[in-house]
Structure 1
């Protein structure tokens, strides 16, 4: 229970920073819609969906706060389609960690697509391991057993991230990133 309160406080902190960003809300809502619909379209392939790649690209080009807001709303809104449970807040936390890593590594990621792909692969594991915390807390399953059992799913997520990052990067930049001058 304490974990949920902490996650909700983190979410409140993210939301309090949102009104200070200069990214047009229309751009973020379009990316949010793509991430939610992407999760729904790929639901038949376990753990493979474009949401993580879209959040990574948002963090890379629009910053931490914009991507963190999407990290909060993607699991909530996609949960309305796919089902909401105690894991939704942990999905937010997992994507928030991914967004934080991308933000910290931004200077390196903007120079190397290979490094971006490698971070995308790692993001599958980071997200999966964080989401596993919800099952460990709610069901009481041993966390280390969950890590081992989730390896194939986290690997699929990571490989999916690499594929989506390669496929979506240039399109994302062309559609959403406006460079002046």
Structure 2
């Protein structure tokens, strides 16, 4: 229960930070819609969806606060289509950790598409392991067993991320990123 309270406090802090910025809300809502619809369209392929790649690209080009807001709302809104549960807050936390990794590696990732794809591969595992925490907390499952059982899904998520990052990067930049000057 304490974990959920901490996650909600983090979410409130991100929303408060977002309120005080001049981030392009129209662009973010378009990316949010793509992430939610993309997650729904690929539901037949377990753990393969463009949402993580879109969040990573948002972090790379629009910064922490924008990507963190998407990390919060993608699982909530896609949960309305796919099902809500206690895992939604852990999905937010997992994507928030992925966003933090991208922000920390931003200078390197902007110059190497292959490194970005490799980080996308790792993001599949980071997200999956964080989501596993919800099952460990809610039903008391053994976390190590969850890691082993989720391995094929985390691999699929990671490979999907890498492929989506390679395929979507240039299109994302061309459509959403406005380089003035």
Structure 2-normalised TM-score?
0.99
Deviations 1:55-105 (A, max 9, x none): 000000000000000000000000000000000000000000000000000
Compute the RMSD of aligned alpha carbons: 0.5
Q: What displacement does 1:24 show? A: 1.0
Please say if 1:8 is aligned against 2:15. no
The aligned counterpart of 2:83 is: 83
Please say if 1:52 is aligned against 2:52. yes
Does structure 2 retain, via aligned residues, the 8 Å contact 1:4–1:89? yes
The aligned counterpart of 1:109 is: 109
Q: What displacement does 1:20 show? A: 2.8
Deviations 1:101-130 (A, max 9, x none): 000000000011111010000000000000
Equivalent runs, 1:166-177 vs 2, <5 Å: 166-177=166-177
Matched pairs, number: 181
Deviations 1:15-36 (A, max 9, x none): 1100233321000000000000
Q: Distance in 1 between matches of 2:93 and 2:24?
A: 24
The aligned counterpart of 1:26 is: 26
Q: Distance in 1 between matches of 2:137 and 2:80?
A: 22
The aligned counterpart of 2:138 is: 138
Does structure 2 retain, via aligned residues, the 8 Å contact 1:71–1:95? yes
Range with bigger deviation, 11-20 or 125-134:
11-20
Q: Distance in 2 between matches of 1:114 and 1:160?
A: 14
Other structure's SS at 2:23 match: coil
Query: Any unmatched runs of 5+ in structure 2?
Result: none
Structure 1-normalised TM-score?
0.99
Query: Any unmatched runs of 5+ in structure 1?
Result: none
Q: Distance in 1 between matches of 2:87 and 2:72?
A: 12
Q: Distance in 2 between matches of 1:146 and 1:19?
A: 37
Q: What displacement does 1:41 show? A: 0.1
